[in-house]
């Protein structure tokens, strides 16, 4: 460890003793936001209801924190009154969650040369914070001081041109992390011992020799097959299964050199958390040439079906369809469209396969809806057990696409295999909607002015929080979709809102500072609105109801 880092850690420890907030040990359920989605089921739901439909109009900013970086798409954690925030360029902060006062900061030294994008999420266990770095390391920090406890290199980023998934998840004593990068590379999901950093298993998302599914690849194309695990997975502790969405095959838009279904790309996989072995898979887009990742979060819900509780998995695909699976077996329960503009297929058959899907062809331009940006991307959904509804976003953006003959390539090369030009749908508009997660019945639709790049948060106060590319943080009525509150943050929003409580007071936090690729489409596809797109900042805003004057209600 360098001397400077040692001195910073020592100084942080002294500062911690002076500034760490005093928080009662008997924290109520929902007071903390302990992982990326709030729970391991990827609900993005808070059971707090102090802020509700009746009083949300009074919500006001109580503190803000600038990271000093550019862009902010991170999801903070809150545990025992302390907020942990990851900023761009591997910069981490611990803050007093009630006041925003800085407790410690950790700035990792970034190597020279090409590195990946910053992670947007943390996980925490055993007093340690786990974080994937831009140079493809997984590190653990002491949550009290910010001191590095262990540091492991997942893979040499200079060779794979890859970095870690948007965040990590926990499965008992294991830290689970994926890999991202649209390059000629074989994707995987890793598990590490949380206390030591020792790698315990690796599951490859592209089937190699000896794996079931390897016959769906031609020759040695599996070596460069893609299958990035971009976003975050979910975990069922009762079944001890990790669920993860797998990205597109490589090359992205040219499929002529990889005949077959190309397993396990564009699939949801269920992995035994103890062994790393595949329990089941469900492929949503076989032999994909349209970049329809299955990367979005697998949402785990339990529903009563005929008097029996059934464990289900609800999964949105970039293709505009949502799939409902039995999460114990992988059996298809149903599939339904969550987007309006869908031109690439005539529908989904009884086995879950697309009917007469479009394929990219060299020299043939085709208008494809949704576009390669998807009907949605990293802007994750939310599920409310209060309403029983699932809330999701659709960009309603199309693209003109055509494949191109391949040039020779090697591992780590960026191989698109075609050309594309995004354009707005001529018949539909972007929206946020509430759905029955099993049947797909749309309960309400809230149209947005442009595509919505922010993830969503549902709360027990019957509210849905998010933000727009123009910097407006907002709250919708979870029952009707009506907008009830907004606040201009001054920076486009692509960060996930969270909710937590300290001392009995509920807070809503959301990062301001657009750093989402779909967000860059706004000035291109809506040029008449380009002057309204603010500069990129990096500030976390925290809101609450006004404090009562004499012990009354907020």
Count of alpha carbons within 13 Å of 517, Cβ hemisphere only? Answer: 9
Task: Give CA separation, 399 vs 106, 240, 290, 334, 425, in Å.
Answer: 41, 40, 10, 27, 9
| Bridge partner list, 163 | 180
Tokens of 87: 């900023």
E strand segments, 339-481:
366-368, 382-384, 389-394, 397-403, 418-424, 431-435, 442-447, 457-459, 463-467, 472-477
Known catalytic residue: 240?
no
149-155 contacts, C-beta under 8 A, 24 or more apart? 150/196, 150/197, 151/197, 152/192, 152/197, 152/199, 154/179, 154/190, 155/179
Options 96, 266, 288, 291, the catalytic residue: 291
Rounded CA Rg of the chain: 22
Sheet with strand 298-305: strands edge to edge: 298-305, 308-316, 321-326, 332-337
- Alpha-carbon span 448 to 428, nearest angstrom: 11
Cα 243 to the center of its chain, rounded Å:
13
Task: Give CA separation, 461 vs 62, 465, 495, in Å.
Answer: 20, 11, 21
E strand segments, 159-245:
163-171, 174-180, 188-193, 199-204, 234-236, 241-245
**3 state SS of 278:** strand
Q: Which of 451, 493, 453 is nearest to 472 (CA)?
A: 493
What are the b/e assignments for 227-243, b being 16+ CB within 10 Å?
bbbbbbbbbbeebebbb
Contact 321, 335 (CB under 8 A): yes
| Bridge partner list, 304 | 309
Q: Hey, which residues are catalytic here?
A: 291
């Amino acid at each position: 460890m360098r001397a400077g880092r040692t001195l910073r850690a020592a100084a942080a420890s002294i500062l911690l003793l002076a500034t760490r907030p005093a928080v009662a040990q008997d924290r109520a359920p929902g007071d903390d936001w302990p992982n990326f989605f709030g729970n391991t089921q990827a609900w993005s739901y808070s059971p707090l209801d102090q802020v509700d439909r009746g009083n949300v109009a009074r919500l006001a900013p109580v503190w803000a924190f600038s990271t000093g970086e550019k862009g902010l798409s991170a999801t903070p954690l809150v545990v025992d009154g302390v907020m942990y925030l990851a900023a761009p360029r591997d910069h981490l902060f611990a803050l007093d969650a009630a006041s925003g006062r800085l407790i410690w900061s950790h700035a990792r030294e970034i190597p020279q040369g090409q590195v990946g994008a910053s992670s947007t999420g943390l996980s925490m266990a055993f007093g340690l914070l786990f974080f994937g770095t831009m140079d493809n390391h997984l590190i653990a920090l002491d949550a009290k001081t910010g001191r590095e406890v262990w540091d492991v290199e997942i893979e040499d980023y200079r060779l794979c041109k890859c970095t870690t998934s948007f965040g990590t998840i926990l499965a008992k004593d294991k830290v689970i992390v994926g890999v991202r990068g649209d390059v000629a590379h074989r994707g995987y999901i890793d598990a590490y011992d949380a206390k030591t950093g020792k790698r315990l298993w690796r599951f490859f998302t592209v089937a190699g020799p000896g794996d079931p599914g390897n016959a769906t690849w031609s020759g040695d194309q599996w070596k460069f097959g893609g299958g990035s695990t971009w976003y975050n997975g979910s975990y069922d502790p009762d079944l001890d299964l990790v669920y993860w969405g797998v990205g597109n095959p490589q090359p992205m838009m040219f499929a002529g050199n990889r005949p077959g279904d190309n397993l396990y790309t564009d699939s949801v996989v269920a992995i035994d958390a103890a062994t790393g072995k595949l329990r089941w898979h469900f492929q949503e887009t076989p032999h994909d040439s349209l970049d329809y990742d299955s990367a979005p979060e697998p949402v785990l819900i339990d529903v009563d079906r005929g008097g029996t509780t059934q464990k289900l998995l609800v999964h949105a695909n970039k293709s505009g369809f949502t799939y409902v699976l039995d999460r114990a077996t992988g059996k298809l329960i149903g599939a339904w469209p969550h987007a309006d503009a869908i031109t690439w297929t005539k529908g989904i058959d009884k086995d879950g396969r697309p009917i007469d899907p479009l394929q990219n062809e060299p020299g043939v331009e085709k208008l494809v809806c949704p576009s390669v940006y998807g009907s949605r991307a990293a802007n994750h959904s939310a599920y409310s057990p209060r309403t029983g509804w699932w809330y999701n976003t659709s960009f309603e953006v199309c693209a003109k696409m055509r494949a191109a003959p391949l040039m020779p390539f090697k591992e780590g090369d960026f191989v698109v295999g075609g050309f594309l030009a995004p354009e707005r749908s001529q018949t539909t508009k972007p929206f946020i909607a509430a759905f029955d997660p099993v049947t797909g019945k749309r309960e309400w639709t809230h149209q947005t002015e442009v595509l919505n790049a922010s993830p969503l948060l549902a709360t027990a106060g019957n509210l849905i929080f998010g933000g727009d590319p123009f910097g407006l943080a907002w709250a919708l009525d979870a029952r009707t979709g009506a907008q009830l509150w907004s606040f201009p943050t001054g920076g486009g929003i692509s960060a996930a809102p969270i909710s937590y409580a300290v001392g009995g007071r509920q807070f809503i936090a959301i990062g301001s500072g657009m750093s989402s690729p779909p967000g860059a489409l706004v000035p291109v596809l809506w040029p008449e609105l380009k002057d309204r797109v603010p500069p990129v900042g990096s500030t976390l805003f925290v809101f609450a109801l006004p404090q009562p004057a004499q012990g009354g209600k907020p």
